[in-house]
Structure 1
Amino acid sequence: MVAQKKAGYKYSSRRLLSAYERKGKVMYVIKRNGLKESMDISKIRIVIDFACKGLRVDPLELEADAQIQFREGITTKEIQQLLIRTAAEKVSPQSPDWQYVAARLLLYDLYKDVGHLRGYKVKDKINGKYKPYNPDSFFELVRTYAERGIYGDYLLKEYSKEDFNTLARYMDPDRDLLFNYTGIKVLYDRYLVRDEDGNVIELPQEMYMLIAMTLAIPERKEDRIKYTKLFYDLMSKHEVSLATPTLMNARRPHTQLSSCFVLTVDDDLYDIFDNVQKAGQISKFAGGLGIYLGKIRATGSPIRKFKGASSGVLPVVKILNDVMVYVDQLGMRKGSASITLDIWHKDVLEFLEVKTNVGDERKKAHDIHPAISIPDLFMKRLKNRENWTLLDPYYCKNVKDGKNLEDLYGEEFEEVYQRLEREVPPDAKKEVDAFELWKRLLTVVFETGEPYIFFRDTANKFNPNKHCGMVYSSNLCHEIVQNMSVSQHVEDSLDPSTGLITHRKKSGDVVVCNLGSINLGKVYEKADIERVVPLLVRMLDNVISMNYYAIKEAEYTNRRYRAIGIGVSNYHYCLVKNNILWESEEHLRFANSLFERIAYYAIKGSMELAKERGKYELFDGSDWSKGVFFGRSAEENQRLSEQNGNNLDWIGLAEEVKRYGLRNAYLLALMPTGSTSLIVGATPSIDPIFAKYYKEENMSGILPQVPPEIDKYFWHYKSAYLIDQEWVIKAGAERQKWIDQAQSLNLFIDPEQVDGPKLSRLYELAWELGLKTVYYCRSKSLTEIEECESCSA
């Protein structure tokens, strides 16, 4: 058996005999059509041979262990599930190929079910003529289910039957074999389209092709088939992944393809509840939310000059919490929102406690994710162990050139903040020790893994579109950094003759995240990045054109900025396969070089798209338009490129961007890729691996997890909790040099090894090295951390 595993299993005619065969007994099974027949072991062996072919496993082992659990009257469906479960239980770092055996067994089951439902025969014998896909049924599949409102009828309007047949024959069923068990299980449970009775109606390659067809609709008609094939290849070869809403909803009637939305709430009762309504509508269509509440007056603030009347921020937080619970996305999962408050807000101490298990339960909001916005001035005072003043935003309005305190950043903010410390009435401010406030924040981090941190001055200083807006906070997963603003309510009017009430308002900037990620396990060399990244830019720009918008403000913002976010998955595997240790200077140099290449070809791809389709509306006056990328001149970027060995032509690119513009105002954002990393068998996002073997528990059940090629690189991988987290932050700082937005950067701490001062040092280092955000602080003592599925790409 060992020899077989080392050499790769070669089929043998020798087979284990079941107990029933040895005793001459006959076992009866129930087929899918309900008929009863004697068990034919040879049919089971055909399936096992198919599943094990070419893999380093012993099929006799699977057959023997599964047969122990056979029983009289077992259904063929149960036999298949038993084989799948048995194979999945065998996955280990020493024998990772069992995950592909389990995947093929599940695929075989899926092929049979879909073939039976759609009325075509999937042959039992796995030979050269075996075709799990039936290209002739592809057009009929879409036509039938478009009529029933399950697929979008735009597919039939934009593509002819001949187009469908051409694309059906372009699909490559062998690419299904790229899935491991977790990948195909997650895809089966959550992404493949189902009919009204819950039956899966499409196969994985059909899913990818229909998504590609949807995203190619904005292309010129004569180019549409070409781009459909290119988009399909990127997805089906697992070179890129798209965000969960895109994977779920492209090809559906409501093409809500965006991942996350960021709302700015004004200090106005009408606007507060208008944003509550927006939050409900966005959550209804599976969008994640970031919500900034820093403009709302504090507890005890006046209302219509009546002192002490305001209830502050906490009641609004609780309302939004209840909305996230109530709008539960068809019962699949709760809505999800991060809520950001500034560290100078007078209610910040109470806000820090919303998820802790101590204190007044009436002030808790356990289902939202708190985030704190921190200016440089606070970090300076923290280092100097100085005092900090909490202020009521009500008294911080119109403080300079018609702007509020929260509308300022950098030196301008510091000047006005220090003036307000002196001038604001005593009952509208509270002086605290900056270090004590920081200690309380870190204590909550230890207890809950949150709040998320947003370094607002860094975010705004390096905002390429600072000429037309301000960034107050980030999104749910803290990788999006884009301009935000409140909507302005104009008037309500009544037509007394009809009873028609019309509400008019001027849209603010509601940030929209349109996300996709590169699989660094497959795409990291220059030639591949040059080929893949511009195509991904095009795909995400098409997401904007095809998108269904739950709220009109999102449509307005999305079309003015056309912002996208390109991220990555399989980062740790990419390091490992290049023989790079996480805790090494070589890692930092590699990260710098790799992300420069990604940035260069993302900008170049957006520039080429601007030549074809026009630049984004607000391009003129941006840093991009001045040749300033990532806060640096073209000459500075050129020098950095020469230093790291890429030798890319940043000066020439800057001149082209000045001439033609960019199609997209924002381009790069490293989002978490939880569920989509599972689909493509990748390590998640930029995180180190959680462990060399563990079981992931999610909506698809308990799934065995091993990193890619763990048997080959066992000693190269190092688990997250064993890595010195300063190296996580240093690597993040190298990547950030080439990212116009931010990163969902997690910290992994062992409370037995990391105390308060060490944790404080990590967050201070993140600020010092220029990171814009810190996402979760994951602790060994915290067993439940909610993943953001919306941003997963």
Structure 2
Amino acid sequence: MQSAAVSTIRVTKRDGRIVPFDPQRIANALRKAFEAEAQHSGESITEDHVASEIEHIIAGVIQPTSAHAGQTLSVEEIQDCVEIGLMERSHFRVSRRYILYRTEHARQRAVRMTNNELDDLPASHTDNDSRLNVEIEPGIRIPFQRGRLLRFLRAIPEANTDEIDVEDLVDEVVRGAFDAMTPRDVAKLLVLSARSRIERDPAYDRLAAALQRAVLYRETLGVTQVDPDFESLYFSRFELNLIEGIRAKRISEELKSFDLDRLSNAMVPQRDQAFRYLGVQTLYDRYLLHLDGRRIETPQMFWMRVAMGLALAEEPNQRDERAIEFYQLLSTFRFTSATPTLFNSGTCHPQLSSCYLTTVQDDLAHIFKSFSDNAMLSKWAGGLGNDWTNVRATGALIQGTNGTSQGVIPFLKVVNDAAVAVNQGGKRKGAVCAYMEPWHLDFEEFLDLRKNTGDDRRRTHDMHTAAWIPDLFMQRVRDNQSWTLFSPDEVPDLHDLYGEEFNRRYELYEQKAREGKLRQHRTVSALELWRKLLTRTFETGHPWVTFKDPSNLRSPQDHVGVVHSSNLCTEILLNTSESETAVCNLGSVNLAAHVIDGRLDVQKLRQTVTTGIRMLDNVIDINFYPTKEAETANRRHRPVGLGLMGFQDALQMLGLSYASEEAMQFADESMEQISFFAIHASSQLARERGQYETFEGSKWDRGLLPIDTVSLVRKHRSVACSMDTQQTMDWTEVRQSIAEHGMRNSNCLAIAPTATISTIVGVSQSIEPTYKYLYAKSNLSGDFIQVNPVLVSSLKERGLWNADLLDELKYHDGTLAEMPSIPADIKELFVSAFELDAKWLLEAASRRQKWIDQGQSLNLYVAKPSGKTIDAMYQMAWEKGLKTTYYLRSLAATQVEKSTVDVNRHGIQPRWMKSQSSSKDIRIDRENAAVASPNLAENTVTACLLSDPDCEACQ
């Protein structure tokens, strides 16, 4: 019998009518769903049981939702409640039948609506083509309608701007249409049509993003943003999709413990509009959870799921509040967790860490264990850094068999192939970097690993390599002295030594070699070895150049181990050993989001950094650890790596050119503030949660902050370290907090590349200068040209942006220096990476490095390579006290299609490209090949290209 409470519920029909709620209609639909499932499964079910379950669903879900207060509910809201009720009572298969029932009725309404629309449209607006039909369901087709597309576009705000030609867009879709297209095909054509026009104006970028959101919304909500029920469905489907993900074992059941109503209402659907096209597309392609290809998350649901996953480390009574706090940070683009965290937070396998560093022991069993560890770590989206310096060299004696070793290289070939075989969860390529010190007898072969010539069995085309260089080697290069190579089995302690201890021990082994007391050694010119290293770095992009001594001398954890290498992207510097695999958990502050009204909002930055450190610390306790050694290290030392992105955007918002002393000062002061707030936040977490296990005896415990450790490098070197050590903040508060409470994290700061997460939030990568202001971009949907919206906006303000200027920008490959139509101040503000003197990049990096307890992924750019130029860059990097560098970037001859550009109109080739000979290859001038081998100037060589979409180290 219908209760009085139920009789007060009103239902808003789809045509706007308001009628009394009739529970019998729901009962009939549910009964059909139960009967359909029983018929399908062959299981018997009694009418009494069905009636009882229906009564529970109606009484237990519908009535509480209406609060017995005569509220009005939409049809969709009631049906959503029924789905929740079925799932809560574990009728998952019946729920699926009910969903199919809803879908079928929606399809029937769509057909009726379409027919009615066709009847109402004037003939000139239907534009039906008898050859073209849209298959809205298998076997059900309706005529393709141009007018319907126009109405849909005109309902989207992003299409209603002066820059957008809606008729032109629809014409493009019609030209690409084919018979029996699905609605998804039509939607994709719309997206591609808008995307192909992004180069004309950023307005098309916003429209393409809106159209891609519409594709996503159809999958997750069943409607697009123009539907009147869109917002209510956005909130109500959050819980439904979450339960669906839990049932499919894609989402952790722990997320059911949150107050889902509260969290749903905390979401802000309008924030989806902040994404540019590439951000939405990247989320759609790689980040949003899906079941059989159907996404079950919108962007805000995605941010909330990540926030909930990170809040699981909080006290149960604080989880909802913390999840909302984390969501606010993520959804406003103030801070973004690294890709593994975004992939896996809140899932059944929360492997949230970004980087793993291992040391391979000189033992066959451990070498093969390292292969296995690499595979397990890579499977869950971890980037790998392997230290191979310990392993004996080619020709070394094997005591157990009385044979001789084949050295390191054959093992690295296995590492390379394993990285290809085990990709990162099926979402991106496996990626690993091998590190070696330059005193190893196999080092010269190590330099050749990435060459395209020679014995392919001794090449690793898919693996990255890096040189782990002690200061003594750099000093020998400068003094043009000799350098001795050893096999590690005869000099076993060199691997664990640095600073003066390394120097003394190395010289002792040199003396032993001269006296004939070592079985294997070879003496070479340090300068010639350095030249070979730089030549290979230019030719292949590898090895990366990293510095052992400053990395160890300034390490906060010098009391419990040694830093033997960096990671895949050269920003992580943590101790490793046979029992400990170093792990780092990354996230980045969006510096551009903190520039308000022409200044850096320091208070807002403090709030962001404080919450960001808490989120990163939570990762350590939530994390799924693929190996015991990784868990041991991470729980003992609790390192995190807070970095930044959007540095170039922030400079432009402040009106500062990267090539200016003002920009260097901003790099210095902004990093000081981030460092101050991060270290203080970790200390305050220690007060709340306790110190990390190995705090006692650390540099933190000894009162040494990162800025204090610069003097240790200066004391060690015979050549002065030219790092600027000025500071602008009073650090007394931080020092007192550490003295009183200790630190929660052994390491706090590291600047990662952020290539993908910066794309998601639409800012420049990490600390990078803008590569080009117009460039070809590739993703899963193909290639298109991307133009920098900030540049376009500045040009529009001066009335300069038009089709001719776009052609000119294409001709000059997205750089402004040679464009006569661009004012000098705009050229200065929008200087690109290859126009920028490397001294500015290195100075900015040095200013930041003094505040960072780990490292930076620092790319170096060379427009017109020469041996002298490359040598000067890396020498300056060492002099400036940097710990690491990353890729050496070289230009391909062209990145933008110029088939429509009038070459005669725009003049001669830009001068930074004159030394390049073809669309793919780069040549070094013979007279400038100072670091080259004798025949290098005669050979065509290639370097890493920034635009390579398959380079996973860049993603």
Normalised by the size of structure 1, how large is the TM-score? 0.88
The code of the aligned residue for 2:750 comes to A
Q: Is the 8 A contact 2:769 2:832 kept in 1?
A: yes
Return the alpha-carbon distance in structure 1 between the equivalents of residues 711 and 543 of structure 2: 38
Q: Give the 3 Å change call, closer, same or farther, for CA 748–170 of structure 1 in structure 2.
A: same
Tell me the residue number matched to 2:912.
none
The code of the aligned residue for 2:208 comes to A
Matched, 1:95 2:208: no
Return the alpha-carbon distance in structure 2 between the equivalents of residues 617 and 426 of structure 1: 41
Matched, 1:138 2:138: no
Between 531-540 and 315-324, report the one with greater CA deviation.
Answer: 315-324
Cα offsets for 1:745-777 (capped at 9, x unmatched): 001112xx2200110010010000000001111
Q: Is the 8 A contact 2:245 2:296 kept in 1?
A: no
Q: Is the 8 A contact 2:385 2:435 kept in 1?
A: yes
Aligned mate of 1:83, from 187, 190, 194: 190
Aligned mate of 2:528, from 430, 436, 455: 436
Please give the secondary structure, in 1, of the residue aligned with 2:466: strand
Matched, 1:295 2:390: yes
Tell me the residue number matched to 1:109.
215
Tell me the residue number matched to 2:136.
32
Please give the secondary structure, in 2, of the residue aligned with 1:294: coil
Return the alpha-carbon distance in structure 1 between the equivalents of residues 711 and 859 of structure 2: 33
Aligned mate of 1:687, from 739, 752, 768: 768
Matches within 5 A, 1:244-643: 244-304=339-399, 309-329=404-424, 331-397=426-492, 404-424=493-513, 425=517, 427-486=519-578, 508-523=579-594, 524-632=600-708
Structure number with the bigger relative contact order (C-alpha 8 A, sep ≥ 6) is 1
Q: Is the 8 A contact 2:777 2:784 kept in 1?
A: yes
Between 75-84 and 22-31, report the one with greater CA deviation.
Answer: 22-31
The code of the aligned residue for 1:146 comes to I
1:173 CA drift (Å):
0.8
1:84 CA drift (Å):
0.9
Aligned mate of 2:315, from 212, 220, 239: 220
Cα offsets for 1:105-158 (capped at 9, x unmatched): 010121112223xxxxx268456x5427432232222223212212111212x3
Return the alpha-carbon distance in structure 2 between the equivalents of residues 367 and 33 of structure 1: 44
Unaligned 5+ segments in structure 1 are: 1-16, 117-121, 398-403, 487-507, 637-641
1:296 CA drift (Å):
0.8
Matches within 5 A, 1:710-789: 710-713=791-794, 715=826, 716-750=829-863, 753-780=864-891, 781=922, 782=943, 784=945
Tell me the residue number matched to 2:932.
none
Please give the secondary structure, in 2, of the residue aligned with 1:32: strand
Q: Give the 3 Å change call, closer, same or farther, for CA 471–98 of structure 1 in structure 2.
A: same
Tell me the residue number matched to 1:12.
none
Between 334-343 and 323-332, report the one with greater CA deviation.
Answer: 323-332
Please give the secondary structure, in 2, of the residue aligned with 1:378: helix
The code of the aligned residue for 2:583 comes to V
Aligned mate of 1:194, from 283, 290, 302: 290
Return the alpha-carbon distance in structure 1 between the equivalents of residues 426 and 226 of structure 2: 40
Aligned mate of 1:174, from 270, 276, 279: 270
Q: Give the 3 Å change call, closer, same or farther, for CA 43–441 of structure 1 in structure 2.
A: same
Q: Give the 3 Å change call, closer, same or farther, for CA 242–428 of structure 1 in structure 2.
A: same
The code of the aligned residue for 1:592 comes to D
Q: Is the 8 A contact 1:634 1:650 kept in 2?
A: no
Return the alpha-carbon distance in structure 2 between the equivalents of residues 333 and 123 of structure 1: 30
Return the alpha-carbon distance in structure 1 between the equivalents of residues 403 and 521 of structure 2: 13
Q: Give the 3 Å change call, closer, same or farther, for CA 484–742 of structure 1 in structure 2.
A: same
Aligned residues: 730
Please give the secondary structure, in 2, of the residue aligned with 1:390: strand
Return the alpha-carbon distance in structure 2 between the equivalents of residues 731 and 31 of structure 1: 57
Give the aligned CA root-mean-square deviation in angstroms: 2.6
Q: Is the 8 A contact 1:239 1:519 kept in 2?
A: yes
Q: Is the 8 A contact 2:164 2:203 kept in 1?
A: no
Q: Is the 8 A contact 2:587 2:612 kept in 1?
A: yes
Return the alpha-carbon distance in structure 1 between the equivalents of residues 766 and 870 of structure 2: 23
The code of the aligned residue for 2:738 comes to V
Q: Give the 3 Å change call, closer, same or farther, for CA 563–24 of structure 1 in structure 2.
A: closer
Return the alpha-carbon distance in structure 1 between the equivalents of residues 340 and 786 of structure 2: 24
Tell me the residue number matched to 1:498.
none
Q: Is the 8 A contact 1:674 1:787 kept in 2?
A: no
Cα offsets for 1:406-451 (capped at 9, x unmatched): 1111111101100101113464110000111011111101111111
Q: Is the 8 A contact 1:596 1:738 kept in 2?
A: yes
The code of the aligned residue for 1:47 comes to F
1:59 CA drift (Å):
3.8
Return the alpha-carbon distance in structure 1 between the equivalents of residues 526 and 574 of structure 2: 28
The code of the aligned residue for 1:778 comes to R
1:365 CA drift (Å):
1.3
Q: Is the 8 A contact 1:300 1:309 kept in 2?
A: yes
Return the alpha-carbon distance in structure 1 between the equivalents of residues 362 and 472 of structure 2: 24
1:707 CA drift (Å):
3.4
Q: Give the 3 Å change call, closer, same or farther, for CA 390–53 of structure 1 in structure 2.
A: same
Between 68-77 and 359-368, report the one with greater CA deviation.
Answer: 68-77
Return the alpha-carbon distance in structure 2 between the equivalents of residues 283 and 511 of structure 1: 14
1:585 CA drift (Å):
1.2
Q: Is the 8 A contact 2:352 2:623 kept in 1?
A: yes
Aligned mate of 1:151, from 207, 226, 251: 251
1:30 CA drift (Å):
1.6
Please give the secondary structure, in 2, of the residue aligned with 1:281: helix
1:208 CA drift (Å):
0.7
Tell me the residue number matched to 2:756.
675
The code of the aligned residue for 1:217 comes to L
Aligned mate of 1:185, from 273, 278, 281: 281
Cα offsets for 1:245-285 (capped at 9, x unmatched): 11111121111111110010111111111111111111122
1:213 CA drift (Å):
0.7
Normalised by the size of structure 2, how large is the TM-score? 0.73
Cα offsets for 1:169-197 (capped at 9, x unmatched): 111111110111111001001001011x2
Please give the secondary structure, in 2, of the residue aligned with 1:211: helix
Cα offsets for 1:458-486 (capped at 9, x unmatched): 10111011111110110000000011112
Q: Is the 8 A contact 1:387 1:432 kept in 2?
A: yes
State, as a whole percentage, how many aligned pairs show the same letter.
36
Between 75-84 and 466-475, report the one with greater CA deviation.
Answer: 75-84
